[in-house]
Structure 1
Amino acid sequence: MDIVVIGGGPAGRTASIEAASLGENVTLIERNEVGGTCLNEGCMVVCGLNDVVKFLEDAKNFKNLGIINDDYNFSFNNVTKGVKETINKIIKVLEYETKDAGVKVLKGTAELKNNSVIVNNENIEYDKLIIATGARPFIPEIEGAENAITYKDILNLTEIPEELIIIGSGVIAAEFANIFSHFGSKVHILCRNEFLSVLDNDIKQYVVKHFIPDVIIHENVQTNKIYKNYISINNTEISGKTLFAAGMTPNSEIAANIVGTGERGHIVIDNRMQTSHENIYAAGDVAGKTGNTPISRAEGVIAARNACGIYSEMDYKFIPYAINLYYDVAFLNSDNQDEGMEGYIPGSGGPGSFWRVLEGMTGLTKINVNENRDINNLYSISPSSRTSMAYISKLMREGQKIDNFDDFMEVHPSTDAIYKLIRFFARFE
């Protein structure tokens, strides 16, 4: 069977490898570079820049403690150059892995026509098609929007902005506010509604106080106009370069009038990743379910299996998320939001947080448990919470209750208080 996958990001690349492993003839079409937004412009860029932030913050703390004497300066141009070089190396690894799995990789812009895809003037017929074309930054309808930049432009900056205005209220806004405020920019965040509404209020306040203390946050504001070096909000002017971090727009135009789309422009799919067309599947950001790279990979696997005739459904329960700051800010929320018992505990001193104990900055973990002994919400701030939350998510999807954690044995030393807090709750009836 001939399967064509359009888009070489996390969803598309994973789908193509899965389909090839099942013995199908797979062609992957990518317009730019494999890896998608996450590798080339998003998550990995944030990781690279935030690693520098962590080093600078640790050096500052060590100097304050009298452990080192040096002040560290850095070259922003060398940082962005190094991030690009690292990304290019990872791209080569991903390309090799994809081709080694038996996938034919074509570079070019795809166009759909009947039961075929046209790329580089070549007509490629398919039995099943998987669309994984991702998404692009959402550009709000604000006068002067052309004067703003997005995450796609970050690595092309030649210098750190003295003043930066971030329009957005979610994870991307928080991550870039953290990076550029520590790089020396005076940062404003403009939120149409509430900043980081995905977080519990105690967790949000910890983030604001400890990770972005110098950032000025404006909630419930409307931007009137964007100029080259300042903006106008509520009849007030704020100077700085503007960065849009206000969400994503699905790249679904390729399938216009071929499959059903929703109000936000996303391709409508069921839990098998099937679209309104029986031979076409979609996965990742273009499907608009959730902006989460591991979920995109999982959707790619589900799409590939169903395209190959293996019935499989996606499970969206207990999805773990994280914000990439000085410490990981990890969280998961269940669909069940019944009122329950709530508690929190400070983080532990250990790898990554030992030298923050004296100032009381070891993180925070908070949990809400319902009367059925299920976890409603779980939030954790620590150097290792990103990893721990993934395993908790797996156990929750398997139906584990807090009582099953009474004899849980974590690896020591650990900075994560998740297991300690859950075991504490397990002792209460």
Structure 2
Amino acid sequence: MNIVVIGGGPAGRTAAMEASGLGANVTLIEKNKIGGKCLNEGCVVVCGLNDVAKYIRNTKKFNERGITSLNPEINFHKVAGGVKETIAKIRHVLEVETREAGVNVVMDDAVVGDGYVSVGNERYNYDKLIIGTGAGASIPPVKGAEHALTYRDVLDIPKVPENLNIVGSGVIAAEFAGIFSAMGSRVRIFCRHSFLKMLDPDIKRYVVEKLLGDVEILENTPVNEIHPDGLKTDAGFFEGTVLNAVGMVPNSDAVRGLVDTGKNGEIIVNSKMETSKRGVYAAGDVVGGIGTTPVARMEGVVAARNSCGIHAEADYRFVPSSISLHYDVSFLKSESPTGSEGHIPGSSGPETFWRVLDGETGMSKVVFDAETGDINSLFAVSPSARTTMAYMSKFLRDGYKIHDFDNFIETHPSTDAVYKLIRFLSKLE
């Protein structure tokens, strides 16, 4: 069976390797760089910059305590260069891994036809086609929007901006606000409506006051016009570099007319990642669902298995999400996220010990059904929240209830108080 995969990001690359492992003859076509947005422009970039931002914030805290007297200066050109060099090394590993999995990797633009894909003078016939072309930055319909940077431009700015105006209200806006405020920028976030509306109010309050306390957040403040040196709202003109972070738009132009798409350009799929066209599948950001790398990989596996005749369906129950700030802000929700609540401060431990005196050790919150013991929502703010939430997702998918954690033993010392909170609540059930 010949399978062609378009897009070498998390969804496409995972699908290609899975299908190859199942015995298919797989060709993966990527027009730019293996690894997609996550590796080359998104999550991994944030990780690299956030490591530097955390170092600066920790140094400032130690200076305040009189423990150190350091004054780190940021050479952003060197920071960006180091991030790019590291990404290139990771990308090389992914390329080798993909080829060693038996996938034929072609680096070029693809033109999609019915039953074939053209790349230059080459034509690749397919029995099944998997679309994993990802998504790009959404550009708001605001006059002068072309003057704003996007996440793609961050590593190419010459220095840390003195003033940074971020347009957006979600994860990308929050992450870059945390990074550049730590590096010395005066940061403002302009939200058309509410900031981080996916968060529980208590968790949002902690994020705004403790993790983004030096960032000015203007909710319900739409931007009217963007200039090369700032932006304009009803409240006036705000000078500084403008970063657009208003979300993502699926890259589905290559298959318009071949498959059905939604109002935002997302490819419409079912739980088996099948499109409206028989034999054509889609996965990852291009389907417009939950835009995280683990979900894209899961969808890629589902698409590959179904394309090889093995039944599989995507499972979106209790998908863990996170925001990369000084502490991880991680959460998951069920379809019924309300109920009884319990919350406690984070624990003292690695990366939080010196924050105890300032009351900045993080926070955990559980929302549960007191009658059934079902856990409906979890939120955690801590250095280890991202890892903890992934395991909690697995527990809840497997049907664990609040009383099942009564005898749970975590590794000590741990900074995440989720398990401690759940054990306490189980005794009250």
Calculate the TM-score normalised by the size of structure 1: 0.99
Check if 1:5 corresponds to 2:5: yes
Q: CA deviation at 1:300?
A: 0.4
Return the alpha-carbon distance in structure 2 between the equivalents of residues 358 and 222 of structure 1: 38
* Per-residue Cα deviation, 1:381-419 (whole angstroms, up to 9, x for no partner): 001010000000011011111111111110111111000
Aligned AA (1:316): Y
User: Which residue of the partner structure matches residue 362 of structure 2?
Assistant: 363
Moved more, 56-65 or 23-32: 56-65
- Residues 74 and 276 from structure 1, CA distance in 2 versus in 1: closer, same or farther, beyond 3 angstroms? same
Counterpart of 1:87 in structure 2 is 87
- The AA in structure 2 aligned to 1:270 is N
> Any residues of structure 2 matched to 1:131-146 within 5 Å, and which?
131-146=131-146
Once the 2 structures are TM-superposed, how far is the Cα of residue 214 of structure 1 from its aligned partner?
1.5
**1: CA distance between counterparts of 2:360 and 2:245?**
28
Shift of 1:313: 0.4
List alignment gaps of at least 5 residues for structure 1: none
Deviations 1:54-80 (A, max 9, x none): 111111111222222222112111000
Shift of 1:139: 0.2
Q: Is the 8 A contact 2:170 2:195 kept in 1?
A: yes
* Structure 2: unaligned runs, 5 residues or longer: none
Letter of the 1:346 partner, please give it.
Answer: P
Inter-partner Cα distance in structure 1 for 2:141 and 2:71: 43
- Most deviating of 221-230 and 60-69: 60-69
The alpha carbon displacement at 1:117 in A equals: 0.2
CA distance in 2, matches of 1:312, 1:288: 20
User: 1:120 Cα deviation (Å)?
Assistant: 2.2
| Equivalent residues in 2 for 1:2-401, closer than 5 Å | 2-234=2-234, 236-337=236-337, 339-370=338-369, 371-401=371-401
1:298-324 deviation per Cα after TM superposition (whole angstroms, max 9, x unaligned)? 000000000000000010010000100
* Matched letter for residue 8 of structure 2: G
**1: CA distance, partners of 2:18 / 2:158:** 40
Distance 2:306 2:88 in 1: 32
Q: What CA deviation, in whole Å up to 9, does each residue of 1:261-314 have, x standing for no partner?
A: 011110000000000011100000001111111000000000000000000001
Superposed displacement of residue 43, structure 1: 0.3
Give SS of 1:149's match: coil
Contact 2:250 2:265 (8 Å CA) reproduced: yes
Q: Name the CA distance, whole Å, in 1 between partners of 2:131 and 2:330.
A: 30
Q: Tell me, yes or no, if the aligned pair for 2:128 and 2:307 is still in contact at 8 Å.
A: yes
SS at match of 1:67: coil
Alignment partners' CA distance in 1, 2:121 and 2:425? 63
- The amino acid that maps onto 1:73 is E
Q: Residue 250 of structure 1 aligns to which amino acid in structure 2?
A: P
Q: Determine if contact 2:111/2:119 at 8 Å carries over to the other structure.
A: yes
Task: Report the secondary structure of 2:152's partner residue.
Answer: helix
Q: Report the Cα offset of residue 235 of structure 1.
A: 5.3
Q: Is the 8 A contact 2:54 2:182 kept in 1?
A: no
Q: Distance in 1 between matches of 2:6 and 2:113?
A: 13
Match for 1:131: what amino acid? Answer: I
What's the TM-score once normalised by structure 2's chain length? 0.99
- AA aligned to 1:29 is I
Structure 1 consecutive aligned stretches of length 4 or more whose deviation exceeds 4 Å: none
1:32 counterpart SS class: coil
Change in Cα spacing, 1:235 to 1:346, as seen in structure 2 (3 Å) is closer
**Aligned partner of 2:189: which letter?**
I
Structure 2: how far apart are the matches of 1:292 and 1:139?
20
What secondary structure is seen at the aligned counterpart in 1 of 2:378? strand
Provide the C-alpha distance between the structure 2 equivalents of 1:100 and 1:233, rounded to a whole number of angstroms.
Answer: 53
Amino acid at match of 2:389: M
Counterpart code for 1:391: Y
CA distance in 2, matches of 1:21, 1:95: 16
Deviation at 1:121, TM superposition (A): 2.1
- Deviation of 1:96 after TM superposition, in Å, equals 0.5
Superposed CA RMSD: 0.9
2:88 alignment partner, SS class? helix
- For 2:176, the aligned partner's letter is F
Q: By how many angstroms is 1:176 displaced? A: 0.4
* Count of matched residue pairs: 428
The answer to whether the aligner puts 1:407 opposite 2:407 as a matched pair is yes
CA distance in 2, matches of 1:428, 1:360: 26
SS of structure 1 residue aligned to 2:428: coil
Inter-partner Cα distance in structure 2 for 1:257 and 1:210: 49
